[in-house]
Structure 1
Amino acid sequence: MKTITYNKLVRDRIPEIIKKSGKRAVVESLTDKAYKEFLDQKLGEELQDYLASDSVDELADLVEVIYSILKYKGVEINDFHSLREKKAAERGAFEKRLLLKEVIED
């Protein structure tokens, strides 16, 4: 018998997928505090996966974690999108591809 230890947050259907493959997954439900810690850890993990691969698929995983963090914080997706749109209206987005090189004070 071979055991691989992960200790990481996984999507809800992963234990079912593991079982269908003939293996057994050992899982536990996290407390609120632990869940937030593992969400933050997962956010970093998914960001690194995206940066390493430049894959839209990995970007989707990153957004899924962000949505889970928003839900944990009690923030509705529409409210989050409104916040993003407000910031874009006030400060702009990144469409012009501007690189700030220097600020000179007189």
Structure 2
Amino acid sequence: MPVYNKLVRDRILEIIESDGLVYNARILESTELLKEVKAKMIEEAKEFQATETVNESVEELADVLELIHTALSTLGVTYEELDEVRLQKKVRRGGFEKAIYLVDVKDK
């Protein structure tokens, strides 16, 4: 029997049952949820890194976005507040549109 010990999407238990399987699961406390969202986000980012097609990339990005929404809800922050922080950082430090790849920095 595989052991997962990880956050899963809300309908996964229904899918497991429909396959005639039995599971053990529990509901996380909010402090546990944020920790598990962070772990799941790393997992999904690695899956995004491994994608080879646009469709695969979009699927993995959708998972990351869903996790962002869950994290925001857990933190009590709106998506609009997050986007405002993003825009403020973009003004201060720029975005990534220029595709700059920094190789190294040397003292003068």
Q: TM-score range, shorter-chain basis? A: 0.7 to 0.9
Candidates 80, 83, 86, aligned match of 1:84 = 86
Instruction: Give the number of equivalent residue pairs.
Output: 104
Query: What are the Cα deviations for residues 45-93 of structure 1, in whole angstroms up to 9, with x where unaligned?
Result: 1111111225221111112112211111111011111111222123221
What is the SS of the residue equivalent to 1:53? coil
Give unpaired runs (5+ residues) of structure 2.
none
For normalisation by structure 1, the TM-score amounts to: 0.83
Candidates 23, 26, 29, aligned match of 1:25 = 23
Structure-2 residue corresponding to 1:59: 61
Give unpaired runs (5+ residues) of structure 1.
none
CA RMSD of aligned residues (A): 1.8
Q: Distance in 2 between matches of 1:81 and 1:99?
A: 24
Q: Distance in 1 between matches of 2:27 and 2:18?
A: 21
Query: What are the Cα deviations for residues 18-71 of structure 1, in whole angstroms up to 9, with x where unaligned?
Result: 112222232101122222221111111111111122522111111211221111
Residue 105 of structure 1 deviates from its aligned partner by 5.5
Identity over aligned pairs, percent: 37
- Greater relative contact order (CA < 8 Å, ≥ 6 in sequence): 2
Candidates 84, 93, 96, aligned match of 1:94 = 96
